[in-house]
Amino acid sequence: MTSLITAAGLADALAGERPPVLLDVRFQPAGGANQRPAYLAGHLPGAVFVDLDAELAGPPGPAGRHPLPDPAVLGAALRRAGVSADSEVVVYDDGLGWGAARAWWLLRWAGHARVRVLDGGFPAWTGERESGEVTPAPGDFVPRPGGMPVLDADGAAKLARRGLLLDARAAERYRGEVEPIDPVGGHIPGAVSAPTTENLAADGRLRPAPELAARFAALGAPAAEEVGVYCGSGVSAAQQVLALEVAGIEAALYVGSWSEWTADRSRPVATGAEPQ
């Protein structure tokens, strides 16, 4: 199963004998409004809202703003949304792909392989929409963590030296020119700047696989034996992991990311356009 599904492909799947479970994972980065009201106003038919901050991440703290959730909390949220072990799942967000990719990555990490991201998200859907809450029959999925490679802070630091560690944040944050969220700007020494915005085409969908492969080749991915990704808090970096997979490259996610890295002020910080 591929990791993406088009709006047309999803329409066909929803009309089938066993339609996929739909998860609405619309999400606003740090300080943004909760997107449940937007979900209630209109969503794909049958979709269940999943709160990224509360259900797809643990409480913020020294491990970052969006650390891995407690598997029990994650499992309860997914069962509430109707996810069973044999379900096909499709996740979508408001188009950036950040929230949907985080859900895709977490499901894969938790041992659920049959999950895809709606390419282009909610804006790409031109079919019927509905409003209000959806309460499906509970699912039976029980997370079994370990399905996706994960980095901790020490692992990210080592990978930046022996392989390729990509920084998925905006280039100005990587360079340390501005930092709107975390205590200090800059990047993990040795990391390479690779903003997630460059993974998207003008219509908001992921760029075709050959274009993504060329992009990551230029960043050194094919030559690197190991590839990892981080961002501010492990959300937008999940979109980069998804883009890398579409390009045929496996990558580990540093879930704690910059928000965990800078929580320990003894960790080194590099600035400027070069990895250092």
Q: CB-based burial of residue 26 (10 Å sphere; 0-12 exposed, 13-18 middle, 19+ buried)?
A: buried
- Taking the C-alpha atoms of residue 225 and residue 220, their distance in angstroms, rounded to an integer, is 10
**pLDDT tens per residue across span 225-240:** 899 999 999 999 999 9
47 contacts: CB under 8 Å, gap ≥ 6 = 22, 23, 24, 39, 92, 134
Q: Which of 46, 40, 37, 19 is nearest to 128 (CA)?
A: 46
Which of the 8 DSSP states describes residue 63?
A: T
Q: What percentage of the chain has pLDDT greater than the value 70?
A: 100
> What's the confidence (pLDDT) of residue 19?
97
> What's the confidence (pLDDT) of residue 28?
87
SS3 per-residue string spanning 43-60? ECCCCEECCHHHHCCCCC
Q: Which of 110, 148, 172, 116 is nearest to 229 (CA)?
A: 148
Quick one: which H or E segment has residue 78? helix 71-80
Q: 4-124 adopts what CATH topology?
A: Oxidized Rhodanese; domain 1 (3.40.250)
Q: 150-261 adopts what CATH topology?
A: Oxidized Rhodanese; domain 1 (3.40.250)
Name residue, tokens 């895809």: 116
Per the annotation, the verdict on 112 as an active-site residue is no
**pLDDT tens per residue across span 11-33:** 999 999 999 999 999 998 876 77
Rounded to a whole number of angstroms, the distance between the first and last alpha carbons of the chain is: 39
Q: What percentage of the chain has pLDDT greater than the value 90?
A: 95
Amino acid at 102: R
- Taking the C-alpha atoms of residue 132 and residue 145, their distance in angstroms, rounded to an integer, is 32
> What's the confidence (pLDDT) of residue 96?
86
**pLDDT tens per residue across span 188-218:** 999 999 999 999 999 999 999 999 999 999 9
Q: Which of 151, 37, 46, 60 is nearest to 89 (CA)?
A: 46
Query: Pick the catalytic residue: 150, 191, 231, 243?
Result: 231
Q: Which of 63, 222, 221, 252 is nearest to 155 (CA)?
A: 252
Phi, psi of 150 (to 5 degrees): -130, 145
Residues of the chain with CATH 3.40.250.10: 4-124, 150-261
- Taking the C-alpha atoms of residue 227 and residue 211, their distance in angstroms, rounded to an integer, is 18
- The reported pTM is 0.97
Confidence band for 276, pLDDT divided at 50, 70 and 90: confident
**pLDDT tens per residue across span 37-53:** 999 999 999 999 999 99
Contact 263, 177 (CB under 8 A): no
- Taking the C-alpha atoms of residue 136 and residue 80, their distance in angstroms, rounded to an integer, is 8
C-alpha distances in Å from residue 227, one per residue of 111, 150, 192, 233, 252: 21, 11, 11, 18, 6
- Taking the C-alpha atoms of residue 109 and residue 105, their distance in angstroms, rounded to an integer, is 6
